Amino acid sequence: MQGHVSELENLAGVSGFLVGWYLIAALANGGAAVYWWRQRRAPGGAAGVQAWLPSLLWLAAAAGFLGLSAVALSGQPSALSLLSLPQPLRDAADRVLGPTLVMVGAVVLLVGFYFGRQFFVRSGVAWSVLNLALLGLGLSLTDPDFVAIVARPDNVPIVGLVFLLGFFTWLAARQAVRNDRRLARHEPPLEAVDQQRVLVWPDLVYIELICMVALMTLLLVWSILLKAPLEQPASTVQTPNPSKAPWYFLGLQELLMYFDPWMAGVVVPALIIFGLMVLPYLDVNAQGNGYYTIGERKFAYLAFQFGFLVLWIVPMLLGTFCRGPNWSFFGLYETWDVHKVEALNNVQLSERFWIDWLGRPLPAAPAGAAGWQQLCAVMLRESPGLVLLGVYLLVLPGALARYSRPIWALRNRQGRCRYWITLWLLLLMALLPLKMLCRWLFNMNYFVAIPEYFFNI
Amino acid sequence: MRSLRDVIRNSQLWRSVFRHAAPLDRRTRVAVILTNVFLHLHPVSISKHGLSLSYTWCMGGITFFLFVVEAVTGVLLMFYYRPTLEWAYADMMALRDVVSLGILRELHRWAAHAMVIAAMLHMYRVFLTGSYKPPREFNWVVGVLLLVLTLLLSFTGYLLPWDQLAIWAITVGSNMARAAPLVGFEGPGASWLTVDGIDLITSTSDARFGLLGERFVGEFTLNRFYVLHCVAIPLGAGLLMAIHFWRVRKDGGISGPL
Ligand code: HEM
């Protein structure tokens, strides 16, 4: 699917875009410098060197971006090295990146963001992260393989989604941190301060009008600049490799690596919809209704972010940007090679248990046995996985409530029925990363493998 | 100038359309909302924080606006598009090459992506402000259904260009139905559903067949998805949106600290 474009041909294609990209980044940093310069007189602002240092920094960043823009404008082949990430760095990134690392990394980032939120919500930190993202994307765009996947028309909105999600996660956390500080001082949240009522005409209606005009402008510009994709006419005999579902379902398609279609395609989506619908009835915490806060609903925040960002968005990005032919994993700067094969010598838990650990053959019914005898043999064969699953879903929630004080408190607040549904949903959510880990560490394929009835977990 | 505006606004024609005088004082400004079929979705007044972009991100409104954009561009596309194996792809090319101002498809496609993104972000906002808590639990449930319908709208539309991207994406997606427990012919439990040794669930009677109208993505699938995409799902989504907006009002307007 990817054509072979040389770095120079690619540069000719993207340099125009890069000029604009870096110019906008430069302008934004110029604006930031002015903003921070004005801020230095704000009450409680820093004094002395501290006061003008940020402005100087953003001014320098603006100058740097302006320089890059000029280099891109020159379009000279010699400019290529200035405009790209060093090749060893790209190779290293491709080598270390993999599905497990991405998922584990996402969890680490989320937890890091949660605990470090006081730090991350500071404007300077957020602005630095944004600058790095702008620079990183700009420098990556000179890589033909990166462009081949990121600049596909249907993938462009997903790049936008990443920036939007980053921004809104930050914006919400920032307001939450502010409110949490106020609540700690027994002050009402900021949303409660201004309870004055305003008339919808003109105040709201005008905001809506401006929003609509701005959005329509954006859509028009986007539509003029980026053509909708139209590939070869449909052919039922030529299967493209890879065949991908629409982007918002790629998280589920990614699950197919670990679960059978009946789980990934039917049970999991049904559970997601069910879980989302019952969420308001499971969350009995009366605090945090109608204002941003994290401190008053830590558990709900973490659980939702885990489900939304780590289990939906991240696998979706993985499926979109890193899955190539045969659904093999490819780094962002890697050429899609149809012959890349990943060793798949996965084993079932039952094989591990009977053959490796007990040193016996798998239990099986003698040839010609009756149906019920065969069923019993299958059950015996898969008993390790079934027991494990039973303990995980039927014993663990009760044991947790019994032996962990905070979880006991949760159970008491929620009542038995809500508690069990919550725990089941959470445990089922955790099953994906657990299975990834088992696959990675022990080459585990299925916990329960009953191909006789298409029933594998 | 001033007087000309006044003349217009106080003319019989103007007043017959808008049913109130120029909205210059509080009373007539209230009347603007109360007497206009489109604006009366709004309350007459809202609390100031409900106005602030940093609270709602305007995301619900943006989602709705994108839905309207989809409806308008969708109707225009329907003028040109014929959902048959013969014509579907050719009409796509014509839309690109022949139809003047050829960005209709682009507008429809990018607004569709944007609508999915906006609905996701709107859900994110509603969660982060805890706005699903009582008394708004049920409106969240309606919202989840709207999200599902938004995804299905996009999914059914994906097939219509009838190019390689389209049929294989739908093939991958609909293959899941083949594996549904009990009702998919390769799903767990389907082999138990037999009557006198005859399988009830086969590749021509299972969930995927019901979805596609045949065993593989083909002519009947195109027709089915076209009808779902242009008629059935938009109607369902429109109905749910009406309920959603009505409930926003009945539940006390935009959420806020109690
Ligand atoms: C087609 C999709 C949707 C449309 C057009 C839509 C539209 C809206 C609009 C215009 C509002 C008013 C406040 C605002 O703009 O934020 C609103 C509020 C609300 N929406 Fe949605 N929505 C959609 C999907 C969803 C989804 C997916 C959810 C949640 C799963 C949801 C849950 C809610 C709730 C609970 C409120 C009340 C929030 C409050 O009072 O702060 N909606 N919706």
Alpha carbon distance A13, A142 (integer Å)? 9
Tell me what pLDDT residue B190 has. 78
**Can you say whether the dihedral through the CA atoms of A437, A438, A441, A446 is positive or negative?**
negative
- The answer to the question of residue B258 being in a domain is no
User: Residue B36 to residues A349, B16, B40, B246: CA-CA distances in angstroms?
Assistant: 66, 12, 6, 16
Q: Which atom in ligand 1 lies closest to the alpha carbon of residue B129?
A: 41
Alpha carbon distance A322, A332 (integer Å)? 6
Alpha carbon distance B189, B207 (integer Å)? 14
Partner residue facing A273 (CB), from B114, B148, B176 = B148
Tell me what pLDDT residue A1 has. 41
Contact A262, B141 (CB under 8 A): no
- The answer to the question of residue B181 being in a domain is yes
Q: Fill in the amino acid letter for A380.
A: L
From B218's Cα to the closest Cα of chain A, the distance in A is: 9
Q: Chain A residues with CB inside 8 Å of B141's CB?
A: 277, 280
pTM for this model (two decimals): 0.94
Asked if A261 lies within 8 A of B186 by C-beta distance, the reply is: yes
A contact residues 211-270, partner B, Cβ 8 Å cutoff = 211-212, 215-216, 219-220, 222-224, 226-236, 238-240, 243-246, 248-249, 252-253, 260-262, 264-267
pLDDT band at B2 (very low <50, low <70, confident <90, very high): low
All residues at 6 or more sequence positions from A74 whose CB lies less than 8 Å from its CB, including other chains: none
Q: Chain A residues with CB inside 8 Å of B120's CB?
A: 161
Asked if A454 lies within 8 A of B54 by C-beta distance, the reply is: no
- The answer to the question of residue B45 being in a domain is no
Q: Which is nearest to A2 in space by CA: A366, A447, A330, A348?
A: A330
Contact A414, A351 (CB under 8 A): no
CATH of the domain at B136: 1.20.810.10
**Are B18 and B60 found together in one domain?**
no
Please choose from B248, B249, B254 the residue to mutate so as to test ligand 1's pocket, defined by most ligand atoms within 8 A of CB.
Answer: B248
Please state the separation of Cα B26 from the chain's center in Å.
35
Asked if B51 lies within 8 A of A204 by C-beta distance, the reply is: yes
**Are B20 and B77 found together in one domain?**
no
* Domain count of the fold of chain B: 2
Express each pLDDT in A342-395 by its tens digit: 766 788 888 888 888 888 888 888 888 888 888 898 899 999 999 999 999 999
Partner residue facing A244 (CB), from B29, B116, B172 = B172
Residue nearest to atom 37 of ligand 1 (CA): B248
Q: Ligand 1 in contact with B63 (CB < 6 A)?
A: yes
Express each pLDDT in B83-97 by its tens digit: 999 999 999 999 988
Q: Chain A residues with CB inside 8 Å of B154's CB?
A: 246, 248
User: What are the sequence ranges of the domains in chain A?
Assistant: 1-83, 86-229+244-250+292-342, 349-456
Structure tokens at B178: 């083949």
Q: Chain A residues with CB inside 8 Å of B169's CB?
A: 243-246
Tell me what pLDDT residue A44 has. 64
Q: Ligand 1 in contact with B154 (CB < 6 A)?
A: no
Q: Tell me how many degrees the CA angle B24-B28-B29 measures, rounded to the nearest 5.
A: 75
**Are B35 and B68 found together in one domain?**
no
**Are B28 and B96 found together in one domain?**
no
**Are B24 and B66 found together in one domain?**
no
Alpha carbon distance A113, A120 (integer Å)? 7
User: Residue A248 to residues A313, B80, B144, B148, B150: CA-CA distances in angstroms?
Assistant: 8, 28, 15, 11, 11
- The answer to the question of residue B245 being in a domain is yes
**Are B146 and B125 found together in one domain?**
yes
Structure tokens at B60: 């619900």
**Are B30 and B68 found together in one domain?**
no
**Nearest-by-CA chain A residue for B69:** A216
List beta partners, residue A329: A323
Distance in Å from the first CA to the final CA of chain A: 33
The residues of chain A scoring below 70 in pLDDT are: 1-3, 43-47, 343-344
- The answer to the question of residue B9 being in a domain is yes
Structure tokens at A322: 């890193």
**Are B103 and B10 found together in one domain?**
no
pLDDT band at B40 (very low <50, low <70, confident <90, very high): confident
**Nearest-by-CA chain B residue for A298:** B128
**Are B78 and B31 found together in one domain?**
no
Contact B255, B150 (CB under 8 A): no
- The answer to the question of residue B17 being in a domain is yes
**Nearest-by-CA chain A residue for B121:** A165
Express each pLDDT in B230-243 by its tens digit: 999 999 999 999 99
Alpha carbon distance A153, A249 (integer Å)? 17
pLDDT for B130 beyond 90: yes
Q: Which residue has the higher pLDDT, B189 or B248?
A: B248
**Are B8 and B96 found together in one domain?**
no
Asked if B133 lies within 8 A of A261 by C-beta distance, the reply is: no
- The answer to the question of residue B166 being in a domain is yes
Q: Ligand 1 in contact with B221 (CB < 6 A)?
A: no
Domain housing B145: 53-250
Alpha carbon distance A348, A445 (integer Å)? 5
Residue nearest to atom 5 of ligand 1 (CA): B64
Contacts by A418-426, CB closer than 8 A, 24 or more apart: A418/A281, A418/A282, A418/A284, A421/A278, A421/A282, A422/A282, A423/A396, A423/A397, A424/A393, A424/A397, A425/A271, A425/A275, A425/A282, A426/A303
Asked if B144 lies within 8 A of A277 by C-beta distance, the reply is: yes
Contact A234, B166 (CB under 8 A): yes
Interface residue of B81, B89, B128 to substitute, partner A, most A CBs within 10 Å? B128
Asked if B172 lies within 8 A of A222 by C-beta distance, the reply is: no
The DSSP annotation for A264-287 comes to: IIIIHHHHHHHHHHHHHHH----S
Express each pLDDT in B175-212 by its tens digit: 888 888 888 888 888 777 788 878 887 888 888 888 89
**Are B203 and B117 found together in one domain?**
yes
- The answer to the question of residue B255 being in a domain is no
Q: Tell me how many degrees the CA angle A222-A226-A232 measures, rounded to the nearest 5.
A: 145
Please state the separation of Cα A209 from the chain's center in Å.
33
Tell me what pLDDT residue A46 has. 64
pLDDT for B10 beyond 90: no
Asked if A191 lies within 8 A of B141 by C-beta distance, the reply is: no
Helix (H) or strand (E) holding B198: strand B198-199
**Are B75 and B161 found together in one domain?**
yes
Q: Chain A residues with CB inside 8 Å of B44's CB?
A: 199-200
